[in-house]
A = this chain, B = another copy of it.
Amino acid sequence: MMEFSASQIAELCGGTIEGDSNVTVNTIAKIEEGRQGAISFLANPKYTPYIYTTGSSIVLVGRDFVPEREIKATLIRVDDPYATVARLLEMVDKMTRGVKRGIEQPVYIAEGVEIPEDAYVGAFAYIGRGAVIGRGAQIYPRAYIGDNATVGERTVLYPGVTVYHDCHIGRDCIIHAGAVIGADGFGFAPVGDSYDKIPQIGNVVIADNVEIGANTTIDRATMGSTRIEQGVKLDNLIQVAHNCTVGANTVMAAQVGLAGSSRVGNNCMIGGQVGVAGHITIGDHTSIGAQSGIPKSVPAGSRLMGYPAVNAGDFARRAVYLKNLGHLFERVARLEKNINQD
């Protein structure tokens, strides 16, 4: 990781230095976990006491911060310590991860496919016939882009991502390692005791600014498209079945499963390991607690928990009832005794 001096950082973020301007840092740490060579920030007053004891070499503070006693760390005063650190995080991320460019060897690029000059194609990547790669796209090693698939501008495909034929991925997307976009939907027609495969000739369409986690799977539609709308964020190991739609800016934690043809609205928040039944609709702005099971459609703005899920308030009440269930059995037994004694 690269090193920065206090004076370099102050210059980058328009800050003013108090202390040793030559001290250098090579990482970012929480103020309470600070150590030599790290930069921290103080945005929340709750953490102020730590500034006097932190081991960090540099701390970003607000312009109006007034120390009550001596501070060992070099201070850099800025307008907004949190925003500054966010910008620094991004810079550090770019420095360590890099924005990759160029074509490594060996790769497999089908005849006729054009790779923009500022794109990256890592070694062992495979790009099929008729595929289209946007400007600035970063195709990491051993990603697979099937025939006629498209990858939008500045989109990043991490190692081992598979994009099946005819699927489309928008701009500024990030798809993490091992994700599979466009495998066949799970469609079979019973024929006697066994099953015939129903060909899955649809595709997957992913809009702009979507992030998809490692080893998540999004199946192609039987016909038409499985759709992930703009700004959606999916965590790792999620299953999105064929013909689903996930609305704009919806966020799902890891290991969620959506069954076939379910429609999740915009701006929903879905907790980890939730299951959503097939052919149902989840209204916009719905929030669903972890591990819940959603068997039927729910209106916009719902707050759900449990299996099968109920309103979050009902879930809390039910939890209390269940806790007191043993006591209820005792109360009923006492009543029965009283009645029989009468």
Contacts and interface: CB of A to CB of B under 8 A. Distances in A.
A162 B158 contact: yes
Contacts of A120: none
Interface string A201-245: 100000001010111010100011000000101011101010000
Interface stretch (A16-24, A71-79, A85-93): A85-93
Interface string A268-295: 0000110101000000000000110100
A177 B195 contact: no
24 contacts: A92-B201, A93-B199, A108-B124, A108-B141, A160-B162, A160-B178, A174-B197, A183-B214, A186-B233, A188-B251, A193-B249, A194-B248, A195-B231, A217-B254, A219-B236, A241-B254, A259-B272, A273-B275, A307-B307, A318-B322, A321-B329, A328-B329, A331-B336, A332-B332
A111 to B, nearest CB: 12
Given A164-B177, A255-B255, A273-B273, A307 B291 contact: yes
Contacts of A114: none
Contact of A142 (B93, B142, B277): B142
A239 B254 contact: yes
A303 B123 CA distance: 48
B194 A231 contact: yes
Interface size class, chain A: 35 or more
Interface in A60-76: none
Interface string A248-274: 110101110101000000010000110
Interface of A: 1, 27-30, 33, 86, 89-90, 92-93, 96-98, 104-106, 108, 122-124, 126, 140-142, 144, 147-148, 158-160, 162, 164-166, 174, 176-178, 180, 183-184, 186, 188-189, 193-195, 197-201, 209, 211, 213-215, 217, 219, 223-224, 231, 233, 235-237, 239, 241, 248-249, 251, 253-255, 257, 259, 267, 272-273, 275, 277, 290-291, 293, 307-308, 317-319, 321-322, 324-326, 328-329, 331-332, 335-336, 338-339, 342
Tell me what chain A mostly uses at the interface: helix, strand, loop, or mixed: loop
B255 A126 contact: no
A215 B178 contact: yes
- As for how many copies of this chain the complex holds, the number is 3
B308 A199 contact: no
